[in-house]
Chain A
Amino acid sequence: MHRFRIPWSLFPVFRHSLRHAGTPRAVLVGSSWPAKMAAPAVKAARAWSGLALGLRNAVLRLPGLTQVRWSRYGPEYKDPHIDKEYYRKPLAELTEEENYERELRKTQLIKAAPATKTCSVFEDPVISKFTNMMMKGGNKVLARSLMTQTLEAVKRKQFEKYHAASAEEQATIERNPYTIFHQALKNCEPVIGLVPILRGGHFYQVPVPLGDRRRRFLAMKWMITECREKKHRRMLMPEKLSHELLEAFHNQGPVIKRKHDMHKMAEANRALAHYRWW
């Protein structure tokens, strides 16, 4: 196996010269150290060579923003429709548009569905995202088993409470682990966040409204970090996670405290809000 070294001058500079990158580059045979950087270049080059040059580059590229994750699919690939109900509708019941859409999809190219997305009725995107965030080293089996053990632990704890409580309290106790999980994460989401902005050589923590996705991410991230770090060495993750989720469900506990700390910091740095320009 030959080992090739590609000189830096030959690398496509994605940011400014997207126009030049239409032609295929020299294909690597070996796996040398620039291979990791050259491989996406080669892949991108291969993908582009099949398409009209310049078309892909022009679509939705903001100035100064580089695409970090390249997808092998071109823009003509549509997302797959994973929904049993959609396909179960008998042909007679479809409206004009739906019929048209179905016919159109027969000719379009469709991406392969990811392995994690199923048409199972029990699937939950929030749970999947949380499991992915808990995963370490690609060990999805372990992450998923931890998640299921956590849900089971939450359920058993709530059942214990239910059987120990009186009749009036029983109505208030929530036993569905999924509602508890969703509510707990919703309670942990911060409303406002801090962003470091460079002004006059110094970084200032400026309060900034956060988008939906960022808030959900922060809630999950705080929950996982809290459970990983602040537990006894011998305590297992499902036990700790279930405890934290139940506390967050009742608006108590360290994750909620962290959210409040974030809010207080944002309130304290209120004066710097003018540094934000968007």
Chain B
Amino acid sequence: TMLKGMTRLISRVHKLDAGHFLHTGSQAPQNLAAHLDNQVPVESPRAVSRTSESDPAKHGEQHEGQHYNIPLQDLKAVFPHGLPPRFVMQVKTFNEACLMVRKPALELLHYLKNTNFAHPAVRYVLYGEKGTGKTLSLCHIIHFCAKQDWLILHIPDAHLWVKNCRNLLQSTYNKQRLDQPLEASIWLKNFKTANERFLSQIKVQEKYVWNKRESTEKGSPLGEVVEQGITRVRNATDAVGIVLKELKRQSSSGIFHLLVAVDGVNALWGRTTLKREDKSPIAPEELALIYNLRKMVKNDWHGGAIVLTLSQTGSVFKPRKAFLPQELLGKEGFDTLDPFIPILVSNYNPKEFESCIQYYLENNWLQHEKAHTEDGKKELLFLSNTNPGQLERLCAYL
């Protein structure tokens, strides 16, 4: 009897016309009928996967699951660093950058639109399993804030600052701490590209003496500090520290809104893989960059928001299956971040999966003949378990 029921279901699936791609699997026949009514008509497949609304501020519930286009010049200006490497490859291959609008990002956008800049900065933490789209959601938020003319403080991957650092210098400012000139100078370069227009507007409120010959006067633009950090690599870490301090102090004044976006924030608490010359391990507090960043992530300033992402992929000494904030941040991190809004980023739902496949089909990315068929789609769904990262990797070679 079970076999007869299965064959009846299968013949019903075969009777659907080619447009209805949804994977029905083990759904009961009543749900099938309801599903057919709710489906978007396939006469215009572009309507399912793409939207012409390229301003993130106007994205709403109706755009969920659809891809919106980011012009390539904007991409270079807003994201000099921070996009996942596979996404960069995809942008290069397709000659266009399309991000999918998803629920966690929409939720965050709603909160950001209603931020009260007089209250202390709210911390939002995007968490989820590997490959679910936390970094790209963060990029969506950053694009929105860039369009709204906020100042973006984007640290693309905090894990890069706690592992594989070659040159560690003893900090000139504080003898106990260590400098990372390379990482700091790279970050300053990218920060400059992203926030050109603010660097001349914001004025420094203190005099900073770099060495016997160079100093930055009070009232000079922040751009000078950044230049100093880029040219004099030895002082790059201190320059970063100054930038962070000034921005935190002045964000309350109301000239600009500050968005602090850190990817892989669980690197700030925990352990590092770095060692001193005498092979003794270095704790994250002893790195000047991490120390200053921790001050930034505390919610004792107002005039902006803090959006953080947890990441197990680049983390050190954390088990592979860990994705919850408590597991990844550890006790210290969790207590420091304590009142935060957690936002779960999960795998694709059927509509988003469909939209993703449609997007790939439109760009002719799925070249395998069988990938266009029903069976092919079902198999992709099964193999990837609707995980966006896995799906992308699967479609890359199909």
Contact = CB atoms under 8 A, between A and B. Distances in A.
Interface of A: 84, 88, 90, 120-122, 148-149, 151-152, 155-156, 159-160, 163, 175-178
Given A152-B397, A177-B367, A178-B367, A121 B376 contact: yes
A90 B367 contact: no
Contacts of B89: 156
Contact of A148 (B11, B367, B376, B397): B397
A210 B367 CA distance: 33
B207 interface: no
A159 B93 contact: yes
What is the interface residue range for chain B against chain A? 20 to 34
Contact of B375 (A121, A156, A160, A176): A121
B396 A152 contact: yes
Contacts of B375: 84, 121
A12 B379 CA distance: 49
B368 to A, nearest CB: 6
Nearest to A120: B379
Contacts of B379: 120-122
B376 A122 contact: yes
A121 B7 contact: no
26 contacts: A84-B375, A88-B10, A120-B379, A121-B370, A121-B379, A122-B370, A122-B371, A122-B398, A148-B397, A149-B397, A151-B397, A152-B396, A152-B397, A155-B397, A156-B89, A159-B94, A163-B95, A175-B364, A175-B367, A176-B367, A176-B368, A176-B369, A177-B367, A177-B397, A178-B367, A178-B368
Interface string B339-376: 00000000000000000000000001001111101011
B6 to A, nearest CB: 10
Top 8 A-B pairs ranked by shortest CB distance?
A176-B367, A121-B370, A151-B397, A148-B397, A152-B396, A152-B397, A159-B93, A121-B375
A233 B371 CA distance: 36
A121 B367 contact: no
B76 to A, nearest CB: 18
Contacts of B368: 122, 176, 178
Contacts of B11: 90
Interface string B7-24: 100110000000000000
Contacts of A151: 397
Contacts of A90: 7, 11
B371 to A, nearest CB: 8
Given A121-B370, A149-B397, A160-B93, 19 more contacts: A88-B10, A90-B11, A121-B376, A122-B368, A122-B370, A122-B371, A122-B376, A148-B396, A152-B397, A155-B367, A155-B396, A155-B397, A156-B89, A156-B93, A159-B93, A163-B95, A176-B367, A177-B397, A178-B367
A121 B373 contact: yes
A122 B368 CA distance: 8
A152 B95 CA distance: 17
Contacts of B93: 156, 159-160
Interface string B227-251: 0000000000000000000000000
A41 to B, nearest CB: 43
Contacts of B397: 148-149, 151-152, 155, 177
Interface in B270-308: none
A224 B239 CA distance: 52
A149 B94 CA distance: 18
Most buried by A among B10, B376, B397, B398: B397
Nearest to A91: B7
A55 B95 CA distance: 67
A86 to B, nearest CB: 14
Nearest to B393: A148
Interface in B82-109: 89, 93-95
A277 B322 CA distance: 68
Contacts of B367: 155, 175-178
Nearest to B364: A175
Most chain B beta-carbon neighbours within 10 Å: one of A121, A156, A159: A121
A128 B371 CA distance: 18
Contacts of A148: 396-397
A245 to B, nearest CB: 13
Nearest to A163: B95
Contacts of B95: 163
A149 B373 CA distance: 24
A176 B10 CA distance: 31
A252 B285 CA distance: 58
